[in-house]
Copies of this chain bind each other. A is one copy, B any other.
Amino acid sequence: MIIITQPNATEEQIDRVVARVREFGLDVQISRGASRVIIGVIGAEDRIREKPLAAMAGVEAIVPLEKPYKLASFEFRGAAAPVSVGRVKIGGDESVALICGPCAVESQEQISSIARIVKKLGANVLRGGAFKPRTSPYSFQGLREEGLRFLAEARRETGLPVITEIMDARDLAMVEKYADCLQIGTRNMQNFSLLKEVGRSHLPVLLKRGFSATIGDLIMSAEYILSEGNMNVLLCERGIRTFENATRYTLDLNAVPILKAKTHLPVVVDPTHGIGLRDFVPQMALAAVAAGADAIMMEVHDSPQFAKSDGEQAIVPEVFADLVPRLRAVAEAVGRRM
């Protein structure tokens, strides 16, 4: 950490800052420039990072030098590390996985039928929501435990491991009975109580980026889970909120190479929410693979006009069938396989 003083800081103010740093068992190195003093803090800066030094008289700015996360950092592992969802390995820089299914589980027939279709066409993991975070209290909120049972049955039929969203820490034991991977949705990315709870689960966690979370925020939320002992976290870029209104969100593919450089965690991209218009989901899925994504998560629905949620953005099986070989070709073009 570097503490930069104001041009008019007094010696007394500087002394108080130095004394405050030393209270935390850290030493300082002082450089005097033309108009400012630079106080370099020596030692593990996490002991002092959160202290409001910037509120002290005479201080202009604080420049942290160490990352605020440890367990999530690339350096912690030194390589991209895969996470297993059921028997499917995601990440580790070789194969690219396909996570597909409807937005919401609606019936046994619906989820089983879609599971069979996507399995046959090349999907590796089945997704489907039993608890749905909806903007309106009057919208369909999911089938809850019944939906989880339908998912488990679809897994039994197809062998596809199952990812499903958890919204409430009190449902954890129930969801763990049925699912292979927990999903934390975009609106709960900074629900720290929930993050801590899934950090104590034996299941891997797919953590969706908050639609207004910075890349740094996303990594810190992963750190919450890791710091409770659960090292199996997948990061998911799913579009951020910007001024653009021709699309539902702005898919931030920049996040893919940045996350892969900063962390060892697998990076999943969800082009369905990221653009929000089914006609353009395929192009964005292709772009995500080219950018280096470890998995693509897409909504596929066999009759989107009757879907209970998000029908406008789900692609139909015919489109998915046409897309898979092109995804495979792009994966190979960038040295991966699918």
Report Cα–Cα, A220/B67, bound state, in Å: 31
A173 at the A/B interface (Cβ < 8 Å)?
A: no
B191 pairs with A55, CB closer than 8 A:
no
A33 at the A/B interface (Cβ < 8 Å)?
A: yes
A320 at the A/B interface (Cβ < 8 Å)?
A: no
Report Cα–Cα, A330/B254, bound state, in Å: 18
Q: B-facing mask of A283-312, CB < 8 A → 1, else 0? A: 110111111100000000000111111111
Once A242-B240, A244-B252 are accepted as A-B contacts, the answer to whether A304 and B52 lie under 8 Å apart by CB is: yes
B136 pairs with A68, CB closer than 8 A:
yes
Report Cα–Cα, A133/B195, bound state, in Å: 11
The residue on B at minimum CB distance from A56 is B305
**Shortest distance between the CB of A309 and any CB in chain B (Å):** 7
A270 at the A/B interface (Cβ < 8 Å)?
A: no
Interface size on A, residues (CB 8 A): 109
A25 at the A/B interface (Cβ < 8 Å)?
A: no
B33 pairs with A29, CB closer than 8 A:
yes
B52 pairs with A190, CB closer than 8 A:
no
A137 at the A/B interface (Cβ < 8 Å)?
A: yes
A333 at the A/B interface (Cβ < 8 Å)?
A: yes
Q: B-facing mask of A243-257, CB < 8 A → 1, else 0? A: 111110011111111
**Shortest distance between the CB of A251 and any CB in chain B (Å):** 5
Which residues A234-272 have CB closer than 8 A to chain B?
240-247, 250-258, 261
Q: A135-B190, A187-B190, A242-B243 are in contact. List 10 more A-B contacts (CB 8 A).
A: A50-B308, A52-B305, A55-B304, A55-B312, A137-B192, A169-B170, A216-B246, A243-B243, A289-B290, A326-B334
Please list 28 pairs of residues, one from A and one from B, whose beta carbons are closer than 8 Å in the complex, sorted by A's number: A2-B2, A2-B63, A29-B33, A33-B40, A33-B65, A36-B65, A50-B138, A50-B308, A52-B309, A52-B312, A57-B305, A133-B192, A135-B220, A136-B220, A169-B169, A212-B243, A214-B246, A216-B246, A240-B250, A241-B243, A242-B242, A244-B254, A247-B258, A254-B274, A254-B275, A257-B284, A286-B334, A329-B334
